[in-house]
Structure 1
């Protein structure tokens, strides 16, 4: 169960429905029976709209609408006097929403007018229900004791109210003067130390407070079990016999409920939980001050079936967009002992189907510049036996995203049919979510085909008159971020003044009736497809990118014409100068010059050719397009066969350093951002992540690819400088989540920065450490083997570890656990003495103490240690220095390194001359805080 960033007071509804009528946008001509004349279609449509109007006129006793309708645009001609249409009728009863799919038969009368002659019910669905307030109950209790998943809650002599859903308890809220709680993660988790040692020290006010109330919600069986086992002396009473605090809380919620019902007669309906789904959420609200909550959430459909979260406006103004911790219950650990299988547990929205193919047509901004109309056919594999198939338009938001797209789309469904063209029932469950309702259950393993006609509003981002793009957070129903779509064939229609850029290969392009029509397909799987269109200038590289067989890869860079309008980059001398520049910028001017495009293309070509060799796999698509995005400044994003680049990436190095606030850091960013985004064509497109919790390596390995590009194009020194920048970044910001968990859990006071330093700094630094530890020969074989073994797969962290164990030998759990699955960093203290021995040599004897620290105050995690490999460095008079053990002298020679493990590691080294200084980890081979020498922390 997910939570909003700031937890609101408990409502009795988990979902809501919208009174949006379909059938309002019917621009896709091929959706219609062409034998029906335009005039006849218009007359039938008028009758259908009148029927919708008559339903909207149906009111309950409070004057609130309780009926609505929608119709399919797919009219069918039976004969010259008979036409049929599919019509959905939604009716809101007190506690049930009924969806009826009707077949309306229209007959043409002797007067030449059409009329509805017959209504046949084809299908009825009554699977959406809501709570009834008259079923709410009030209780007094003597004792409450809850102890699950690390959360303990107790209370005596308190009051509660209970709500029900379909005859079973669904929520209850309790208050008591001595209400108390205690939370501690399981001791076998890294979180135990993070929470008890770091978070309670640095942010105690967010986790420990006097509670006002506790709220519990879940499936009926789980709530019944809690009511039966956690309470002593539970007695049903009248509302007036409960505490005044509980009565006020109930009245507030009741008023909110009643208002919502008056605003929307379909408010509060939701699907019951699946029969095998178990969910229980217990939340605690703080009694005073800023509104703060903590909660423990169990849901056996989620990858981590247990999550602990805190929802508050605190932490320096940052809200919590994620759970704080996520872990597995004992039952999951017993039933799924293999670590790889645990990592591979699916996201909740991936349980029902795999998306295999996507074909069809989208019309973008033709009749309405903000409207997208789609006529798409989806091929999918059903994974669970089901009658209702939930779907939505995915909303991809990651911490650290620089895109400014924030609005959500509005999906208007016109028709959903099966592979035979038979209409199916459906019902909206939100602005961009719905259920497809099959006539009967569909068995797991079924290869299903769904055809959908729809219109989306607010999915098109028109940044300026010559640049528009589809919402990169998601714009296509059914398509999820991790879906590898095996068969992709999409026709795109826009106004003929625009050029379309899509994913895969452009198969054809033509202009007809003022419309530019392009068709895009791919013979390799694509993920999260996108489309942009505009008026562009373009240029290509001066060098060639090729595949292994010599086939050239077309590479082009595009910038929209408005973005080439000049901006005065000189210092502003007056307020008028500033206002003029702002006006030009707001009008779309970005000052991008055409001569800058070819250099960007060359960077992409160099990266394509390099990565072909590094990963041992060809670039998988037929072309690569790079597009200047006038919405963002210094950023990149890389869907299949396309790269978005912020307009700041097109600035010259001197211009960036002189005029941009970031100075040299932005100049460095611009040197390899193209290489990073090109890396995503391997990590993201060729090799995908199996679930959201295993996204980190998509970014970390793209970033490490960029470092190899820097080394290849510039020098090893430039590579080392980039590595040093990673190290400085990680040490500057202490993340509270691991690299692997960065995309799913809260990582610190600034979640965006925590995410960035985890996946863009610490993650790639770890691969640098692998290179330094095992040498180039083994390391680059490892990279090639990753490409060979994982191509066209959706993987998890254990897959990277498995290949590492094959290539490096022995278990690599120690490395992956420390670097990717754990938070915190080691700190070392080096103690040593130097004395001359009888043979005239010098003995350096000492120990290296270790501790692991976490958080901005560098709080020690007791009993936690890293197993690390590095070198001792000895410096002598004259500037000479040697490393111990001696570094490998050839590429084929394995590195011998000094292993530090546990609280103390002793060492003895005999040298022919006396060192003037001794260091450990001097060159940062281990990502650790600066080593103390002959002093402790």
Structure 2
């Protein structure tokens, strides 16, 4: 329940309340299965010279239950013209509802298909869609933007399927897509390519442009990175006026008339969109090696990376869209993205984040908006672990410090961004009052949650947990609660929160970033010394409970490390020590998100 709000030419759906039906809220209520499974797609797409996309999509589905109506979704830029089920014409209802599209949270439009005869449970059917639309726009200088990257063909939620893809497009353009190339021919003004995806994946995607490429072969894996030959218009530097003085004239001094100064606009040199092509290719190949060593093989043997106008990236199975900014020399990027963090983001983090989505989002996935933070947090923290491997722990900590700063920043109405809502709100965090809150909370706080888990479990256990996550949930959706249970399996013995229920209650299902104060005193005489420590939180509710590490340092002995609990704030915790400490340090490795 809520309302549609327009702000800065954007539409938002501001939620007032949202909850599941009572039957689904009952503890242990099973998730209802989908009405049908899709196991194979065959898609034939023609891209006309005017960039209009005409597509015939055939899907093989198995009905789980008897049903009269099938629910699909597609980009609102595409129109479904005709549907046939089992060779028979079917009715299509494709409403145009901004409110419904916003409620879905992904910008897609739902439509219904009513077959001539009800589907029978357990039977296989072929459904054929004819659809067309304008999902591609030109950004200038033969640079193109694919606006419906995951919804240019009908899909129905979480289905891992195999694909056969046939693309027909103008021959002067390069088209890339996920899957292995089966055949490619030229036919008059057209280029026709056929690709096959033999491993089950969630989505098929493509990109196009006038490209140059770099390839990095690896054992069992091919990485192909494409760059635009020319720069999109939005990144072209503006002409700068240059003042031109006429040659000196002795008459000026006699007449006392100033010379006529002419201002001539001068086009500065354009940034090179291929400047970092080979560097990006090498870094992506190294990132794939790093992540495959910890998470297992990627979903497909070939990874294609191609540019997209804008400041974002997106990772599909076997295909990554990467912001053009990542290809530019850092000195040639626009002034708006030249601060230290933005430079690191476009040079070090963005491509690694999208590489990590090969596992988190494309092998393991989520089905509900309450759990969407998991895939982004896992992908982003995987990217930061790769950054740490290449640049050291200080680089990781610098990024986390920037995330903390953004979480504590104030919105227009004076609230801290982190207080807008918990991670579990997912798409409900996209509110008109704080348009950037969703990204900051889902990505930045989610990354901090993964970092805190890593520090609490330790590196070996944390990486083992991620490996088990991939194996246990391959081609399946995971929920936040299932992730909590998995993390608890790898928690070291002796924790004050053995099921990690308090951890997730505070950091995932609630809001708040505490200030922490450590008090300590020494009692007794050597060798029977006892250090009494007390951890005092503030700035959060009384029920905010968190484990924090301390390090007790000595002059000649190895330090002692312990995890202490804010739930014991009203009494001190005794710790036996061999001699008088030189220092007692709270959270020496930045293991906890705090002020």
- TM bracket, shorter-chain basis: 0.7 to 0.9
Aligned to 1:849: 536
Deviation at 1:772, TM superposition (A): 1.8
Structure-2 residue corresponding to 1:610: 290
Shift of 1:839: 4.7
CA deviation profile, 1:795-815 (whole Å, cap 9, x unmatched): 222232232233336523333
SS of 2:326's equivalent in the other structure is: helix
Asked whether the 8 Å contact 2:529–2:577 carries over to 1, the reply is yes
Contact 1:534–1:560 (8 Å) recurs in 2: yes
Please state how far the C-alpha of 1:566 moved relative to its aligned partner. 13
Q: CA deviation at 1:850?
A: 2.7
Give the number of the structure whose alpha-carbon radius of gyration is greater. Answer: 1
1:668 to 316, 341, 344: 344
Q: Secondary structure at the match of 1:385?
A: coil
How far the C-alpha of 1:709 sits from its partner, in A, is 0.7
Task: Indicate yes or no: 2:455 matched with 1:788.
Answer: no
Residue-by-residue CA offset, 1:379-430 (whole Å, 9 max, x unaligned): 2233553323343314xxxxxxxxxxxxx415150x32223x2323334433
Select the residue among 538, 546, 564 that pairs with 1:867: 546
Distance 1:875 1:743, change over 3 A: farther
Q: Which residue of 2 aligns with 1:743?
A: 427
Tell me the residue number matched to 1:417: 84
Counterpart contact for 2:143–2:210, Cα < 8 Å: yes
CA 1:378/1:566 → structure 2, altered by over 3 Å: closer, same or farther?
A: closer
Change (3 A) 1:767 1:580: same
Asked if 1:759 corresponds to 2:409, the answer is no
Q: What is the SS of the residue equivalent to 2:426?
A: coil
Residues 1:597 and 2:274 aligned together:
no
Q: Deviations over 1:431-456 (max 9, x none)?
A: 86543222233234443221122222
TM (norm. structure 2) is: 0.82
From the superposition, tell whether residues 428 and 811 of structure 1 become closer, same or farther in structure 2 (CA, over 3 Å): closer
Partner of 1:560: 228
For each residue in 1:136-194, what CA deviation from the matched residue of structure 2 results, as whole angstroms up to 9, or x when unmatched? xxxxxxxxxxxxxxxxxxxxxxxxxxxxxxxxxxxxxxxxxxxxxxxxxxxxxxxxxxx
Alignment match, 1:534: 209
CA distance in 2, matches of 1:409, 1:317: 18
User: For 2:314 and 2:381, how far apart are their aligned partners in 1?
Assistant: 16
Q: 1:287-321, CA deviations, whole angstroms, 9 ceiling, x for partnerless residues?
A: xxxxxxxxxxxxxxxxxxxxxxxxxx7xx999753
SS of 2:572 mapped into structure 1: strand
Task: State the Cα distance separating 1:522 from its structure 2 match.
Answer: 0.6
CA distance in 2: counterparts of 1:577 and 1:504, whole angstroms: 54
Specify the SS of the correspondent of 1:724: helix
The answer to whether the 8 A contact 2:519-2:534 is kept is yes
Task: Report the count of equivalent residues.
Answer: 553
Instruction: Please state whether the residue corresponding to 1:871 is helix, strand or coil.
Output: strand
Q: Distance in 2 between matches of 1:593 and 1:758?
A: 32
Contact 1:624-1:642 within 8 A present in 2 as well? yes
Query: Which of these residues, 215, 218, 222, is aligned with residue 545 of structure 1?
Result: 218
Secondary structure of the 1:695 match is: helix
Alignment deviations for residues 122-149 of structure 1 (CA, whole Å, 9 cap, x no partner): xxxxxxxxxxxxxxxxxxxxxxxxxxxx
Q: What secondary structure is seen at the aligned counterpart in 2 of 1:523?
A: strand
2:164 match? 489
| C-alpha distance 698-844 of structure 1, shift in aligned 2 (>3 A) | same
Deviations 1:674-726 (A, max 9, x none): 11110011111111112233211111111111111112222233333333333
Tell me which residue corresponds to 1:440. Answer: 117
| SS of match in other structure, 2:423 | coil
C-alpha RMSD of the superposition: 3.5
The aligned runs of 1:94-493 (5 Å cut-off) are: 320-328=12-20, 330-334=22-26, 337-338=27-28, 352-366=35-49, 369-394=50-75, 408-413=76-81, 415-419=82-86, 421-430=87-96, 434-456=111-133, 458-472=134-148, 474-480=150-156, 482-493=157-168
Partner of 2:504: 816
Provide the C-alpha distance between the structure 2 equivalents of 1:430 and 1:503, rounded to a whole number of angstroms: 30
Q: Deviations over 1:881-922 (max 9, x none)?
A: 985xx24xxxxxxxx422332553522346566667655335
Q: Which runs of 5+ in 1 are unaligned?
A: 7-312, 395-407, 854-860, 888-895, 930-937
Cα distance in structure 1, aligned partners of 2:458 and 2:112: 54
Per-residue deviation at 1:523? 1.1
- Could you report, residue by residue, the CA deviation over 1:482-528 in whole angstroms, capped at 9, with x for unpaired residues? 43341211101101111111112222111113111111221112223
Partners of 1:558 and 1:597 within 8 A in 2:
yes
The Cα offsets for residues 603-644 of structure 1, whole Å up to 9 and x where unpaired, read as 1000110111111x1122131111122x21x32111221111
1:718 paired to 2:395: yes
Residue 906 of structure 1: aligned partner: 572
CA distance in 1, matches of 2:427, 2:83: 34
Q: In the aligned structure 2, how far is the partner of 1:556 from the partner of 1:578?
A: 43
Shift of 1:352: 4.4
Q: Please state how far the C-alpha of 1:373 moved relative to its aligned partner.
A: 1.1
Q: Matched residue of 1:423: which SS?
A: strand
Quick one: which of 315, 320, 323 aligns to 1:638? 315
Are 2:2 and 2:13, in contact at CA under 8 Å, matched by a contact in 1?
no
Residues 493 and 345 (structure 1), Cα distance of their counterparts in 2 relative to 1, 3 Å cut? same
TM-score relative to the length of structure 1? 0.54
| Pairwise CA distance, 1:539 | 1.8
